[in-house]
C-alpha cells in the first residue's frame, strides 16, 4: 500500500504542535498531527498550576485549560490526530519527507509529507548530566517526573524531599509536594541567584516557608536501596565546592530541577544544522531549518520561558510549512545574526532578507543586568534599539524587527546587548 | 504598616511598595492595575488560587486536575486540600464543570480544568 500523502505533518501535539497544525490548516494545507502519548497537550497535561496564557489569551489559565482551547480548535477543524503513535524513522523522499510510524491500529506504517514541523519539545537534564555519580538509590527524580507521578498517576514519590536547582518546575514541585503532605526541606541552587521566575520564588517557596539556599549544591547522595540523605556544600564564585562547608541532610527524595534540553534526536539522520547554544536547529524568521521543508518550533527550537511564545512559534512554523508545501517557495537569501555582548543566545540565528515584512526575535541575557541596552544594526546602520530596566537569564525577551530596514547586500546583522 | 512585595499576578514580577496611611493603602512600583489590587489584598488578606487534583473512578483518567474558580485565603489552603483529597469524581467532566460547590467554608467553587471526555 502506498503511504498516505499530506501537505504538512506535525510531529508532537503539545502546545507548539497544536498551534502549528491550526496555522497550517488555516493556510489551506492538508495537515495531520503525530503524538506518541494517548492524549494531546504535551507537558501542559501535567502542569496543573496556573499562570499560562496571559500573553496569548489575556487571562490566567492552568496548563490543561490552555491546552484545551487549542485541542478544541484542532477538533473543530477536523484535523487528523494520530495518538499513541511513535515516529520510528524520518527520511527524505522525492516530494519531501517520508515518516515511518508505529501504533497499535496500523502496526508499522508510512506517511509522506511535503513539509514537516518538528514540535518535539524538550527533555530534562538528569542526575548524570549534573555529575551526581556513585550509588543509584531509588528516590532521585527529575522534577518533571515527580510532577507526572503526582499529577497524572497519583503517587507521592517521597515524604522528605530536597530540591536541587531553582528552575521553575522545581519551585512549582516544592509547592505541590508540600500541599500533598510531603516535607520539602530546602531548595539548593548552585548559582548566586535563583533560576526561576521571581513570582514562583514568592508563591511556591515564601508562602510555605521553604528555605532557598543559594551558592549551594548537592555533592553526594547516600543510600543503596533507597536514598537516605544528601551532602550539601556551599560553593565559591567559580561554583567549586568550599571544603569544610559540607552538611548532611537526611531525606528520602532528591528532586532535580537543573535545566531542559531541546529534543531533536529524530532530526539527526537528516543532518540538520544545530545551534550549540540553544540545542535546537538553526532557523530563519520563518522557522525554516537548514533542510528545505523542515520547520522547528516551541521547546524543540529553544527552551522558552512562557508557553505563549511556544504557541507563537508554532503558528509561524505551521504557516511557513503550509506555504512551502503549497508551492510558494523562493530560494532564501540568508543573512546571519551575530549576537554580541551580554547575549546568551538569540533565535532566529539568521534572517531571510528577500522576504521583507517583520521578523520576531527572541533572546536571553547571559547574566542579570540592570539598565541594559539592545542595539540591532547592519553595516553600521541602526535598525532598532531597546532599553531594559532589568534583564534576567530565566526571562526571555521578544522584539519585532522591520526587515525592510535591512540594507541590501549586508553580510550580517548585529544584535548587541550592553549592561 | 509598610511592606515590600513581588507581584505574582503575571511573570513580570513587579517590585511593589505597599503601606498604610490611616485607612488608606498606598501602592507604588506596579506597572498595571492588577498590581495595585494585589498589593492591597496581600497586606490585608493574602489569597491564592489553589490548583490540585481529584481522584476519579476511571482507570484511564485516574486524576482530574482542578482549581478554585477564584482565590481563597492563603491560610485555608491546607484545610481545602484535606477536603479536596476526600472527593471522588464519578462522571467524565470537562473544563469549567463544578466539582465542589464551596471550597473549605468559602463561597468559591472547585472546577475541573481538563477534558475527561477526550480519548
ipTM of the complex: 0.91
Confidence check: pLDDT of A408 > 80: no
Q: How does residue A107 score in pLDDT terms, banded at 50, 70 and 90?
A: very high
Q: What is the pLDDT of residues A219-252, one digit of tens each?
A: 999 999 999 999 999 999 999 999 999 999 999 9
Confidence check: pLDDT of B61 > 70: yes
Residues A10-19, mean pLDDT to the nearest whole number: 98
Q: Are B69 and B100 part of one and the same domain?
A: yes
Q: Are B23 and B59 part of one and the same domain?
A: no
Query: In Å, how far are A129, A349, A418 from A267, measured between CA atoms?
Result: 22, 18, 35
Per-residue pLDDT, B11: 67
CATH of the domain at B76: 3.10.530.10
* Residues of chain B numbered 22-81 and touching chain A (CB < 8 Å): 48-53, 55, 60, 62-63, 65, 67, 74, 77-78, 81
The verdict on a CB contact (< 8 Å) between B115 and A64 is: yes
Confidence check: pLDDT of A1 > 70: no
Half-sphere exposure of A172 toward its Cβ, with a 13 Å CA cutoff?
26
B86 by Cβ neighbours in 10 Å (0-12 / 13-18 / 19+) ranks as: exposed
Q: Are B56 and B95 part of one and the same domain?
A: yes
Q: Are B73 and B94 part of one and the same domain?
A: yes
Does a structural domain hold residue B79?
A: yes
Residues A9-37, mean pLDDT to the nearest whole number: 98
Distance CA A271, CA A248 (A): 47
Per-residue pLDDT, A202: 87
Round the average pLDDT of chain A to a whole number and report it. Answer: 93
Q: What is the pLDDT of residues A53-90, one digit of tens each?
A: 999 999 999 999 999 999 999 999 999 999 999 999 99
Residues B9-18, mean pLDDT to the nearest whole number: 81
Residues A153-173, mean pLDDT to the nearest whole number: 95
Residues A95-99, mean pLDDT to the nearest whole number: 95
Q: Are B74 and B30 part of one and the same domain?
A: no
Lowest mean per-residue pLDDT among A4-13, A47-56, A142-151, B20-29? B20-29
Q: Are B97 and B55 part of one and the same domain?
A: yes
Does a structural domain hold residue B118?
A: no
Q: Are B63 and B105 part of one and the same domain?
A: yes
Contacts of A154 in chain B (CB under 8 A): 53, 55, 62-63
Q: Which three cell numbers stand for residue A171?
A: 519551585
The verdict on a CB contact (< 8 Å) between A71 and B51 is: no
Does a structural domain hold residue B60?
A: yes
Q: What is the pLDDT of residues B35-57, one digit of tens each?
A: 898 888 888 889 999 999 999 99
Residues A309-337, mean pLDDT to the nearest whole number: 93
Residues A17-30, mean pLDDT to the nearest whole number: 98
Residue-level length of chain A = 419
Does a structural domain hold residue B63?
A: yes
Q: What is the pLDDT of residues A339-349, one digit of tens each?
A: 999 999 999 99
Does a structural domain hold residue B9?
A: yes
Residues A5-11, mean pLDDT to the nearest whole number: 98
Q: Are B64 and B101 part of one and the same domain?
A: yes
Q: What is the pLDDT of residues A293-316, one digit of tens each?
A: 999 999 999 999 899 999 999 999
Question: Beta-strand (E) ranges in A197-349?
Answer: 212-213, 216-222, 229-234, 247-250, 253-256, 260-262, 294-296, 334-341, 343-347
Does a structural domain hold residue B68?
A: yes
Q: Are B37 and B60 part of one and the same domain?
A: no
Distance CA A337, CA A415 (A): 7
Residues A351-365, mean pLDDT to the nearest whole number: 90
Q: Which residue has the cell 508562602?
A: A207
Torsion sign, CA atoms A46, A51, A55, A59: positive
Could you tell me the residue range of the domain that residue B35 belongs to?
2-44
Q: Which residue among B60, B65, B81 places its CB closest to the CB of A151?
A: B65
Look up the pTM and report it.
0.93
Nearest residue in chain A measured CA to CA from B61 = A152
Per-residue pLDDT, A63: 98
DSSP secondary structure letter of residue B44: H
Q: Are B56 and B82 part of one and the same domain?
A: yes
Per-residue pLDDT, A136: 85
The verdict on a CB contact (< 8 Å) between B115 and A199 is: no
Q: Are B10 and B32 part of one and the same domain?
A: yes
How many folded domains does chain B comprise? 2
Per-residue pLDDT, A68: 98
Confidence check: pLDDT of A198 > 90: no
Does a structural domain hold residue B117?
A: no
Confidence check: pLDDT of B119 > 80: no
DSSP-based three-state secondary structure for B16? strand
Q: Are B107 and B64 part of one and the same domain?
A: yes
Amino acid at each position: 500500500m502506498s503511504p498516505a500523502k499530506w501537505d504538512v505533518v506535525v510531529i508532537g501535539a503539545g502546545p507548539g504542535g497544536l498551534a502549528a497544525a491550526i496555522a497550517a490548516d488555516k493556510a489551506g494545507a492538508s495537515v495531520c498531527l503525530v503524538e506518541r502519548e494517548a492524549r494531546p497537550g504535551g507537558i501542559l497535561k501535567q502542569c496543573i498550576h496556573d499562570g499560562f496564557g496571559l500573553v496569548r489569551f489575556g487571562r490566567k489559565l492552568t496548563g490543561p485549560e490552555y491546552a484545551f482551547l487549542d485541542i478544541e480548535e484542532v477538533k473543530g477543524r477536523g484535523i487528523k490526530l494520530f495518538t499513541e503513535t511513535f515516529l520510528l524513522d524520518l527520511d527524505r523522499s522525492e516530494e519531501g519527507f517520508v515518516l515511518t510510524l508505529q501504533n497499535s491500529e496500523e502496526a508499522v506504517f508510512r506517511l509522506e509529507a511535503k513539509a514537516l514541523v518538528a514540535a518535539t519539545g524538550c527533555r530534562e537534564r538528569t542526575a548524570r548530566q549534573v555529575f551526581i555519580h556513585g550509588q543509584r538509590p531509588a528516590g532521585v527524580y527529575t522534577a518533571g517526573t515527580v510532577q507526572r507521578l503526582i499529577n497524572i498517576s497519583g503517587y507521592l514519590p517521597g515524604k522528605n524531599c530536597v530540591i536541587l536547582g531553582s528552575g521553575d518546575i522545581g519551585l512549582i514541585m516544592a509547592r505541590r509536594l508540600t500541599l500533598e503532605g510531603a516535607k520539602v526541606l530546602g531548595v539548593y541552587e548552585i548559582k548566586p541567584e535563583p533560576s526561576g521566575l521571581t513570582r514562583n520564588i514568592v508563591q511556591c517557596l515564601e508562602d510555605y516557608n521553604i528555605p532557598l539556599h543559594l551558592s549551594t549544591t548537592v555533592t553526594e547522595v547516600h543510600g543503596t536501596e533507597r536514598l537516605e540523605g544528601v551532602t550539601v556544600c556551599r560553593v565559591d564564585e567559580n561554583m567549586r565546592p568550599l571544603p569544610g562547608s559540607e552538611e548532611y541532610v537526611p531525606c528520602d527524595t532528591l528532586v532535580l530541577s537543573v535545566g531542559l534540553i531541546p529534543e531533536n534526536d529524530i532530526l539527526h539522520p537528516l543532518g540538520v544544522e544545530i545551534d550549540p547554544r540553544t540545542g535546537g536547529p538553526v532557523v530563519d524568521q520563518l522557522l525554516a531549518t537548514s533542510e528545505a521543508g523542515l520547520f522547528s518550533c516551541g521547546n524543540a527550537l529553544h527552551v522558552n520561558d512562557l508557553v505563549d511564545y511556544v504557541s507563537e512559534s508554532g503558528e509561524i512554523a505551521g504557516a511557513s510549512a503550509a506555504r512551502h508545501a503549497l508551492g510558494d517557495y523562493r530560494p532564501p537569501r540568508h543573512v546571519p545574526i551575530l549576537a554580541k555582548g551580554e547575549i546568551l543566545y538569540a533565535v532566529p540565528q539568521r534572517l531571510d532578507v528577500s522576504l521583507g515584512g517583520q521578523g520576531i526575535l527572541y533572546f536571553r541575557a547571559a547574566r542579570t543586568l540592570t539598565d541594559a541596552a539592545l542595539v540591532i544594526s547592519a553595516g553600521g546602520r541602526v535598525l532598532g534599539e531597546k532599553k531594559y530596566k532589568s534583564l534576567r537569564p530565566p526571562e526571555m525577551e521578544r522584539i519585532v524587527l522591520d526587515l525592510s530596514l535591512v540594507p541590501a547586500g549586508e553580510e550580517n546583522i548585529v544584535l548587541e546587548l550592553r549592561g | 504598616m509598610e511592606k515590600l512585595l513581588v507581584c505574582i499576578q503575571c511573570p513580570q514580577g513587579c517590585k511593589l511598595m505597599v503601606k498604610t496611611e490611616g485607612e488608606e493603602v498606598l501602592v507604588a512600583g506596579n506597572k498595571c492595575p492588577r498590581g495595585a489590587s494585589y498589593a492591597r489584598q496581600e497586606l490585608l488578606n493574602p489569597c491564592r488560587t489553589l490548583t490540585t487534583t481529584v481522584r476519579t473512578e476511571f482507570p484511564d483518567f485516574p486524576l482530574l486536575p482542578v482549581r478554585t474558580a477564584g482565590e481563597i485565603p492563603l491560610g485555608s489552603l491546607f484545610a481545602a486540600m484535606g477536603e479536596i483529597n476526600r472527593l471522588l469524581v464519578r462522571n467524565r467532566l470537562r473544563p469549567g464543570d463544578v466539582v465542589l460547590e464551596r471550597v473549605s467554608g468559602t463561597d468559591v467553587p472547585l472546577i475541573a480544568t481538563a477534558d475527561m471526555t477526550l480519548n
